Amino acid sequence: MKKPTIGVLALQGAVREHLQMLERTGARGVALRYPAELHLCSALIIPGGESTTIGKLMIACGFLGEVRELVREGMPVYGTCAGLIMLASRLVDGDQPLLGLMDITARRNAYGRQVDSFEADLRIEGIEDDGRPFRAVFIRAPWIEEVGPAVKVLGEYRGRAVIAREDGMLVSAFHPELTRDDRIHRYFLRMVEGAEGQ
């Protein structure tokens, strides 16, 4: 079976780490710097970073409308941390450009500032589980305040949703690309392969 090509939005954030994780899963990862490159990809990852800056850069570089249209047409997308915020339809506070694609409400910087970053063991539905929890890295992370009826929460931390899925969209408040555990990227790859099989 041909490896899917998954684009990583290369405007800001942990682009290299996502590309390395994709290689480990057997997918082909490419750094996307221009909107035209989206059409070479089967799916998209929007990495962490500063969500307000990413939103402004997506507008300035012509990505916002193009990504919105492709995801609505069925392109799978995975947003980590700031990527979760970008995919959200609503923010608890703040005003910034959003893709507005996923029926979730996000709270930015929900766990505090950069110095409040932490790691936690999570149980995540749908990833291969041999008894190992997923060690999640939270860096100035959001959480999901509310979800719509079509959104499936896959994992929580202290009663707050931190990873969820709606159709071909996946979001996590934490950074799996900063670990050596590729199970969430493999989960996303199965989503991509499922979309290609339809």
**CATH number, residue 175:** 3.40.50.880
Residue 39 CB contacts under 8 Å (≥ 6 apart), including other chains: none
Number of domains in the chain: 1
Q: Domain span at residue 165?
A: 5-196
Measured between alpha carbons, how far is residue 149 from residues 7, 81, 174, 188 in Å?
29, 22, 23, 21
Q: Which residues are catalytic?
A: 81, 175, 177
Tens of pLDDT, residues 15-73: 999 999 999 999 999 999 999 999 999 999 999 988 999 999 999 999 999 999 999 99
Taking the C-alpha atoms of residue 198 and residue 194, their distance in angstroms, rounded to an integer, is 7
Tens of pLDDT, residues 87-139: 999 999 878 999 999 999 999 988 877 766 899 999 999 997 778 999 999 99
Quote the pTM value.
0.95
DSSP assignment, residue 174?
S
Alpha helical stretches, state H, the chain: 15-25, 51-60, 63-72, 82-87, 183-196
